[in-house]
């Protein structure tokens, strides 16, 4: 029987999804493969079909013990003999399963990566015929991924101790080019065997909602979409509890899920949601990995997550059935502090912390870009794409305005401050704030002081985020990023490039500013100074 026939007979599907046939062919050829496919893209099939066709056992390494039972049940239902071995089993149960495996009655064996640290388990593996090792959620192997697990790293070291050197298929829905390289290095996957299908989720409408009362938005959204299944993600347990009681006051039912609940309660709540007994799940990111609920219609992030990888994976739980879904990020700049706190408190080495801070900046750029959101995400994953025509930026019909002069003020300020300061200080100087720190600065540094006195610090802060998201400013790595002007930013300063931005009338107060001759004189003088030092032609 060939793969196509197995697809039809065992799984009952007519045709392969993108990437599946290529991956399966390579696996059956005995090659190591990295499969990069979006959530819901059909990664499981890529090792389950070979499992049926190959003579020995396929070992599936999966990070979450809680999910193994579901995965095994699903495989058995399909007709593939499967089982799992993990720490939840009693000793007799474990022995039963091992006997079944040894007797050749099992095709798919699910294990957690920690298993490979057990000499007894490694000993048992030595007596089995293993045809294939499938490493699911393979991004967990990379320290540059957003969900690094040391046990995955140790797994990579033990793989070549397994008798017969079975080949490996690694699968993930979330890997930047750097993480993909890391996975391939660690699992000896040739670069040519990276099979990547488009990361785009054509049925999802990505939306960023800014500076609105988050609670009001959530309540209105849930009332407008009754009996629709969806998840509200929060960054902390406390926020989960707060949102849940806020919803209770509004008479909106929800289940909650976070690491602070007992195991029984978690399972109960999860099942209530999975079986549509309750429509809304309010949860931390402890909820959802590997959960295959196809009819999730929306994922709302009440707070900004730590990276675009995490965001895309969580948001991607909407619309797994291919029907339309909403992926909404409620953005408040101060929520970044929660993530900064997590990074700061973690016990990572400094270079890893810096990498995390950098990811957070990319996340912030996503929230502040006015480019297509889907396209922005794909670019992050190393993919070029056209605009989606569905996201909140593509549908934003406000008019673009020329904000080049405003941009020049900010960029000049950053230059004058020797590119040694962060967003907060730049906004304070430009808006003419009085504080002790500013009072200590040398006069030279303050030549842009008060230049944007007609705007609030917050507003200028948003504008700086926009310029950063547009690639005109570049934040340094670390907890307190300082801003520097990029090559594109320098082109704007030189007047070689204009900056456009969609602004609502209320906020768009730069027009009268542009007519302010006094201000222009200041700006011209400033640019003359800059020109002398940095070869910027004055305008
Ligand atoms: P993921 O890539 O997120 O691991 P899954 O392997 O869980 O995705 O597959 C998602 C859903 O798509 C499952 O319900 C699966 O049965 C279905 N599926 C996978 N491949 C195909 C196919 N070729 N045709 C139709 N449905 C498929
Ligand atoms: Mg999967
Ligand atoms: Zn778009």
pLDDT digits (tens, 9 = 90+) for 314-331: 999 999 888 999 999 999
DSSP annotation of 14 reads S
H-type alpha helices, 177-288: 177-186, 214-224, 237-249, 263-274
pLDDT over threshold 70, residue 534: no
Task: Return the closest-CA partner of residue 76 out of 128, 10, 125.
Answer: 10
3-state secondary structure of 248: helix
CA atoms within a 13 Å half-sphere pointing along the CA-CB vector of 78: 25
- Least distant ligand from the CA of 41: 1
- In the prediction, which pLDDT does 518 show? 57
Q: Over the stretch 259-275, which tens digit does the pLDDT of each residue have?
A: 999 999 999 999 999 99
ipTM surpassing 0.90, yes or no?
yes
- In the prediction, which pLDDT does 209 show? 96
Q: CB of 137 within 8 A of CB of 171?
A: yes
Q: Please tell me the distance between residue 339's alpha carbon and the centre of ligand 3 in angstroms.
A: 26
pLDDT over threshold 90, residue 22: yes
Mutation choice for ligand 1 from 44, 71, 173, 322, CB with most ligand atoms inside 8 A: 44
- In the prediction, which pLDDT does 536 show? 46
Q: Starting at the edge strand that comes first in sequence, how are the strands of the sheet with 82-85 ordered?
A: 82-85, 108-111, 57-61, 130-135, 167-172, 33-36, 194-196
Q: Which is more confident, 370 or 513?
A: 370
Q: Over the stretch 151-183, which tens digit does the pLDDT of each residue have?
A: 888 888 888 888 778 999 999 988 889 999 999
To the nearest whole percent, how much of the chain has pLDDT over 90? 68
DSSP annotation of 481 reads P
Q: CB of 430 within 8 A of CB of 413?
A: yes
Question: Structure pTM?
Answer: 0.81
pLDDT band at 522 (very low <50, low <70, confident <90, very high): low
Mutation choice for ligand 1 from 42, 46, 108, 136, CB with most ligand atoms inside 8 A: 42
Q: CB of 311 within 8 A of CB of 373?
A: no
Q: Please tell me the distance between residue 33's alpha carbon and the centre of ligand 3 in angstroms.
A: 31
- In the prediction, which pLDDT does 17 show? 92
* 234 Cβ neighbours under 8 A, 6+ residues apart: 240, 243, 282, 283, 284, 302, 303
pLDDT band at 532 (very low <50, low <70, confident <90, very high): low
Residues with CB under 5 A from ligand 3 (ion): 372, 374, 387-388, 391, 394
Q: Over the stretch 285-322, which tens digit does the pLDDT of each residue have?
A: 999 876 778 899 999 999 999 999 999 999 999 998 88
Cα dist. 522→409, 447, 464, 527 in Å?
A: 10, 8, 20, 9
- Least distant ligand from the CA of 395: 3
Q: Please tell me the distance between residue 20's alpha carbon and the centre of ligand 1 in angstroms.
A: 10
pLDDT over threshold 90, residue 338: yes
Token pair for 331? 């953005």
- In the prediction, which pLDDT does 528 show? 63
E strand or H helix that includes residue 167: strand 167-172
Give the lowest-confidence range in 16-20, 122-126, 327-331.
122-126
Q: Which is more confident, 161 or 341?
A: 341
Residue nearest to atom 20 of ligand 1 (CA): 42
Q: Please tell me the distance between residue 516's alpha carbon and the centre of ligand 1 in angstroms.
A: 61
- In the prediction, which pLDDT does 520 show? 56
- In the prediction, which pLDDT does 160 show? 80
E strand or H helix that includes residue 327: strand 325-331
Q: CB of 446 within 8 A of CB of 508?
A: no
pLDDT band at 526 (very low <50, low <70, confident <90, very high): low
pLDDT band at 146 (very low <50, low <70, confident <90, very high): confident
Tell me how far apart the alpha carbons of residues 343 and 356 are, in angstroms, rounded to a whole number: 7
Residue nearest to atom 24 of ligand 1 (CA): 13
Q: Please tell me the distance between residue 343's alpha carbon and the centre of ligand 2 in angstroms.
A: 27
Residue nearest to atom 15 of ligand 1 (CA): 42
- In the prediction, which pLDDT does 537 show? 43
Q: Please tell me the distance between residue 404's alpha carbon and the centre of ligand 1 in angstroms.
A: 48
Average pLDDT over residues 447-474: 94
Residues with Cβ within 6 A of ligand 1? 13, 16-17, 20, 37, 39-45, 173, 292
- In the prediction, which pLDDT does 473 show? 97
Q: Over the stretch 366-385, which tens digit does the pLDDT of each residue have?
A: 999 999 999 999 999 888 88
pLDDT over threshold 50, residue 539: no
Tell me how far apart the alpha carbons of residues 43 and 20 are, in angstroms, rounded to a whole number: 8
- In the prediction, which pLDDT does 517 show? 55
- In the prediction, which pLDDT does 290 show? 63
pLDDT band at 70 (very low <50, low <70, confident <90, very high): confident
| pLDDT averaged over every residue in the chain | 90
Q: Please tell me the distance between residue 43's alpha carbon and the centre of ligand 2 in angstroms.
A: 6
Q: Over the stretch 218-256, which tens digit does the pLDDT of each residue have?
A: 999 999 999 999 999 999 999 999 999 999 999 999 999
- In the prediction, which pLDDT does 198 show? 80
Mutation choice for ligand 1 from 4, 35, 45, CB with most ligand atoms inside 8 A: 45
pLDDT band at 445 (very low <50, low <70, confident <90, very high): confident
pLDDT band at 530 (very low <50, low <70, confident <90, very high): low
- Least distant ligand from the CA of 389: 3
pLDDT band at 523 (very low <50, low <70, confident <90, very high): low
- In the prediction, which pLDDT does 383 show? 86
pLDDT over threshold 70, residue 524: no
- In the prediction, which pLDDT does 529 show? 59
Q: Please tell me the distance between residue 114's alpha carbon and the centre of ligand 1 in angstroms.
A: 27
Tell me how far apart the alpha carbons of residues 316 and 39 are, in angstroms, rounded to a whole number: 6
Give the CA angle between residues 119, 125, 130 to the nearest 5°: 155
pLDDT over threshold 60, residue 506: no
Neighbours of 65 (CB within 10 A): 15
pLDDT band at 212 (very low <50, low <70, confident <90, very high): confident
């Amino acid at each position: 029987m060939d793969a196509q026939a197995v697809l039809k007979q065992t799984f009952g599907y007519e045709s392969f999804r993108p990437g599946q046939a290529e991956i399966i062919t390579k696996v059956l050829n005995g090659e190591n493969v990295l499969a990069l496919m979006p959530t819901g893209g059909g990664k499981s099939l890529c090792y389950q079909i070979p499992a049926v066709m190959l003579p020995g056992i396929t070992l599936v390494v999966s990070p979450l013990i809680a999910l193994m039972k579901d995965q095994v049940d699903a495989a058995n239902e399909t007709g593939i003999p499967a089982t799992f071995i993990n720490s939840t089993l009693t000793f007799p149960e474990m022995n039963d399963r091992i006997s079944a495996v040894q007797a050749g009655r099992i095709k798919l064996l699910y294990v957690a990566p920690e298993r490979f640290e057990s000499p007894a388990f490694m000993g048992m593996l030595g007596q089995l015929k293993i045809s294939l090792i499938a490493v699911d959620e393979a991004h967990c192997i990379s320290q540059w991924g957003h969900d690094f697990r040391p046990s995955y790293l140790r797994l990579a070291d033990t793989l070549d101790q397994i008798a017969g050197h079975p080949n490996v298929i690694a699968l993930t829905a979330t890997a930047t080019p750097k993480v993909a390289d890391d996975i391939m290095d660690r699992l000896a996957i040739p670069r040519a065997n990276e099979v990547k299908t488009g990361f785009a989720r054509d049925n999802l409408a990505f939306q960023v909602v800014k500076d609105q009362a988050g609670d009001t938005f959530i309540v209105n959204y849930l009332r407008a979409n009754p009996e629709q299944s969806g998840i509200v993600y929060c960054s902390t347990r406390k926020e989960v509890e707060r949102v849940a009681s806020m919803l209770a006051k509004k008479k909106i039912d929800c289940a909650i899920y976070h690491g602070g609940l007992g195991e029984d309660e978690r399972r109960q709540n999860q099942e209530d949601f999975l079986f549509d007994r309750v429509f809304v799940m309010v949860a931390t990111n402890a909820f959802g990995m590997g959960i295959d609920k196809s009819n999730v219609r929306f994922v709302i992030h009440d707070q900004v997550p730590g990276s675009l990888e995490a965001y895309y994976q969580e948001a991607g739980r909407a619309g797994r059935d291919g029907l339309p879904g909403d992926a909404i990020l409620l953005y408040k700049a101060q929520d970044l502090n929660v993530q900064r706190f997590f990074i700061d408190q973690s016990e990572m080495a400094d270079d890893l912390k810096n990498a995390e801070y950098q990811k957070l900046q990319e996340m912030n750029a996503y929230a502040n870009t006015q480019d297509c959101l889907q396209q922005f995400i794909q670019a992050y994953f190393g993919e070029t794409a056209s605009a989606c025509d569905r996201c909140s930026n593509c549908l934003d019909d406000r008019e673009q305005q020329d904000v080049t002069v405003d941009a020049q003020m900010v960029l000049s300020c950053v230059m004058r401050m020797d590119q040694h300061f962060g967003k907060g200080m730049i906004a304070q100087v430009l808006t003419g704030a009085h504080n002790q720190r500013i009072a200590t600065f040398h006069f030279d540094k303050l030549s842009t002081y008060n230049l944007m006195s007609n705007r609030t610090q917050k507003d200028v802060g948003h504008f700086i985020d926009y310029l950063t998201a547009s690639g005109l400013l570049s934040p340094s790595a670390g907890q307190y990023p300082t801003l520097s002007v990029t090559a594109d930013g320098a082109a704007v300063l030189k007047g070689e490039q204009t900056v456009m931005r969609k602004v609502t009338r209320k906020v768009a107060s730069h027009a009268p500013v542009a007519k302010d001759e006094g201000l222009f004189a200041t700006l011209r003088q400033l640019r003359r100074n800059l020109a002398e030092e940095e070869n910027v032609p004055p305008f």
